Structures are given as structure tokens and as C-alpha cells.
Structure 1
């Protein structure tokens, strides 16, 4: 999932450099949403791991 966020970030940067404002904005927005989703799922996984008695990474 983090790979998708990075992919959309790269697309946004390239589109912004080439002057495609709408595509850059949409890609940046999607990258932000996917990154936040990744962080939330990561936090849930760490809490679940700690509840099971295993130390977090």
C-alpha cells in the first residue's frame, strides 16, 4: 500500500513539473489518502501485535 502512495506521489510530481495541474492535484490527493490509510492500518497492526504479547517491531 505504501508503494501505491509513492507511485501516486511520483505521478503528481511529474504531472506538476509538466504543467498538468488537475492531474497533479488528483494524484497528490490520492497519495495523501492512501498514505494516511497505510499509517492507520500500520498502527492497528502494531496494537494488535502488542495485545498478543509480542513486542512491536
Structure 2
């Protein structure tokens, strides 16, 4: 399992904007929020810029 350089915080409003921006489809809905699949993510950062509430942070 890979370690993530980005995480989605509890501030996530589950809007799905990050899903649409991820070129690898590494973000999915789990419950009431989105999560990043560490094995699929390449830490390109596209999701960070797409989040309207700044809920994706660099670790």
C-alpha cells in the first residue's frame, strides 16, 4: 500500500468535483465523503485545485 501525499479532510461536502478532476479515477465516494485510493493515486494534485471548500490537504 502506498502512502498518500494528499488527504481529504472532514470538511468534504461530497460534491464530487475531485472525482471529475482526477485523471486516474483514484477518488471515490464512501459514505458521506470522498476518499483517495492510495494505490491508484500518483499525487498529481489535480484534486486539490478542484475542491470548492479546500478539503484536500497535502500531508
TM-score class normalised by the smaller sequence = under 0.3
Bigger proportion of residues as strand? 2
User: Which has the greater radius of gyration?
Assistant: 1
- Structure scoring higher RCO (CA < 8 A, sep ≥ 6) equals 2
Greater per-residue helix proportion: 1
The TM-score with structure 1 as length reference comes to: 0.28
